Amino acid sequence: MPPTLALFLTIGFIAFLFRRDIGEKPNVTGALWLPLIWMLIICSREPTQWLDNIFGVHAGGSLEEGSPVDASIYAVIIGVGIYILHKRQVRLAEFVRHNQWLTLFFVYCFLAILWSDFPFVAFKRWIKILGHPIMVLVILTEPDPEEALRRLMKRCAYVIVPVSILFIKYYPELGRKAGPWATASANNGIAMSKNLLGASCMILGFFFVWHLLVAWRMEKDKARRNELLLTAGFLIGIWWLLKMAESSTATMCLIVGVFTVLFLGQRFVNKRLIGAYILTGAVIYFLADVAFGISSILINALGRDPTLTGRTEIWHQLLDFHTNPVVGVGFESFWLGKRLRQIGELYWWQANEAHNGYLEIYLNLGLVGVFLLIGWIIATFRKGRLDLLKNFEYGRFRLGFLAAAVIYNWTESAFRSLHPVLFVFFIISLDYPKLEYEAVQSSDGTDAEEEMELAYSATDDCAS
């Protein structure tokens, strides 16, 4: 097929999907387009990279300062998000009350700017990451937050999956990157790298498996059949992209997340004993690893060598920098300045991440940061466990993705910057009292949809 024809067919397919989506008249507002734009950017490429790749326009910028064009776009998105939350009367006190560990982590990250070698750069990066909870609050303050989550994920897939397939098959200059000395190429699709494409596929694949289980229980009619066909089609496309990206970590974590969702759906599982199941599983894995070397078997099955493609060597090298073990070098500051140059002298390729989210936190924020991150993860687990009893489907979505994210960060650095795994982690970890939208009778006695009152229905039993 000629690339131009494939391009027009892809655009037509995407337009059809969005028209179908909007035609279903979901219970969401136009504000949901804002977090969609945010997610599409972090799952693909920086705005300036799109300008460079497609139009050949170089916007400038540096590693320390970043691009002013990117900074302006992120500032506008964050500013609009804050405006929306202000109009919806979102209260900071309510946010803090329901998300104490997340708040502590964010406040500590802000304080860690003070001892950074590049405080202004660290401050700008902190502001940028602040966009994650802002976008999540826009989702959670929609009339139906769960419906908003489903629409966000599906709309993101409408772009990420078909465009990635298009780029890999018909526009290799955009969808593939040459390997070392051009001896090999990696398929990155719409994303900046194959690992980022793998992360996006893991997120969307996990969502569509969960959505398939939910749709399967719908009333048997034409709408259910169409939804199942759509979901199956995207799962096939996502699996193909995972194979093309050759992202072993994303594939393994997707399997772990799906297994967790399926396991929680079994009738014999006591929803109140999830913590005991996790502890038992960890003990069994440890004993099996000591007795039979399960870890090595799994690594070989994923096509990785014992060093995890050189990752363990990088970890040892980074620990040799002897950063402050208590507070680290400052928020998002390790990969800057002289440390980056020293690492560049160790390898012929330029490393810019630790390939381990927990080590990344340790280098930047020290043991204090690691402790707060663990507390944040445990708090997220508790929220998911409570949801299993109150809202089972969303509860197992939270716990399934939590399992995938925790394991993903063992060989990839996703607890940093604008990584899509971190964004979805914010979605499953953040709580906010549901806003109930009530139509008000207008003066002539008719319903006026444009006149809405926001009434808080906060529940004191939400986990912090």
DSSP output for 91-121: -HHHHHHH-HHHHHHHHHHHHTTTT-SSHHH
pLDDT value of position 177:
81
Higher per-residue pLDDT: 305 or 245: 245
The DSSP 8-state label assigned to residue 246 in this structure reads T
pLDDT value of position 313:
82
Largest Cα separation within the chain, whole Å, is: 77
Q: How much of the chain exceeds pLDDT 70, in percent?
A: 84
The DSSP 8-state label assigned to residue 322 in this structure reads -
pLDDT band at 462 (very low <50, low <70, confident <90, very high): very low
Q: Which residues pair with 447 in a beta bridge?
A: 441
Rounded-to-10 torsion of CA 355, 176, 77, 65 = 60
Give 37-61 pLDDT, tens digit per residue: 999 999 999 888 888 877 666 665 6
Give 369-389 pLDDT, tens digit per residue: 999 999 999 999 999 999 998
Q: For residues 433 and 134, what is the distance between their CA atoms, to the nearest angstrom? A: 15
Q: Are 363 and 340 in contact (CB under 8 A)?
A: no
Q: Are 385 and 395 in contact (CB under 8 A)?
A: yes
The encoded tokens of residue 103 equal: 């708040």
pLDDT value of position 179:
55
The answer to which of 183-192, 277-286, 327-336, 433-442 has the lowest mean pLDDT is: 433-442
Q: Using CA of residue 380, residue 382, residue 383, residue 385, what is the dihedral sign?
A: positive
Q: For residues 292 and 296, what is the distance between their CA atoms, to the nearest angstrom? A: 9
